[in-house]
Amino acid sequence: MAQKEVLLTPEGLKKLEKELEYLKTVKRREIAKKIKQALEFGDITENAEYDNAKNEQAFVEGRILSLERMLRNAKVIDDAEHAEGEAVVGRWVTLKDLESGEVFEYKIVGSVEADPRDSKISNESPVGKALIGKTPGAIVDVDVADGVLRYQLLDVRREG
């Protein structure tokens, strides 16, 4: 089965590589130390410290596998391949909600990097999908559970 391509910005790639390195070098050692200490308590059948350390180890190993899979299937987006002013992964967009007049700024990223609290929206989200390929001045309609949201794309810019 072919793995899904993972779109990443250069910043996102570095972040995932850094997390993977941390988990493999620092976190694995910390957990091994916790397991060793828990084993020193003797009987592991009713040893909460041992159970917690093993659960943490399973979580970390799962995350390592997940990160390795993502990085294997990563495609780093070079926004320089696209026209200036075009909304694509890796660029910041400024939107105006045509109903409320509120203005928002988001960076369009791949789904792995998406974090709305950090103003990063996925290219696969309803808003992200509607914006891809658009240029300033475009009006986009976004279907949501409550109806349709209308935005005007005010600006598109590169990082910085």
Please give the sequence-ordered ranges of beta strands (E in DSSP) within the chain, or none if there are none: 6-8, 74-76, 92-97, 103-109, 120-122, 139-144, 147-157
Q: Which amino acid is at 160?
A: G
CATH number of 6-76: 1.10.287.180
pLDDT at 24: 96
Which tens digits make up the pLDDT trace of 85-139?
A: 899 999 999 999 999 999 999 999 999 999 999 999 999 999 999 999 999 999 9
Which tens digits make up the pLDDT trace of 22-35?
A: 999 999 999 999 88
pLDDT interval class at 158 (50, 70, 90): confident
Gap between the Cα atoms of 93 and 125, Å rounded: 14
pLDDT surpassing 90 at residue 82 = no
Give the DSSP letter string of 38-79. HHTTS--TT-HHHHHHHHHHHHHHHHHHHHHHHHHTEEE--G
C-beta neighbour count of 105 within 10 angstroms: 12
Q: Coil, strand or helix: which one is 10?
A: helix
Q: Does the domain spanning 84-157 belong to CATH 3.10.50.30?
A: yes
pLDDT interval class at 2 (50, 70, 90): low
Which tens digits make up the pLDDT trace of 38-80?
A: 888 777 777 788 888 899 999 999 999 999 999 999 999 877 7
pLDDT at 91: 93
Give φ, ψ of 83 to 5 degrees.
-60, 145
Q: What is the pTM of this model?
A: 0.78
Q: What are the extents of the domains in the chain?
A: 6-76, 84-157
Asked if 89 and 82 touch (Cβ cutoff 8 Å), the reply is: no
Q: Coil, strand or helix: which one is 7?
A: strand
pLDDT at 51: 87
Q: Which amino acid is at 140?
A: V
Q: Which amino acid is at 131?
A: L
pLDDT at 84: 86
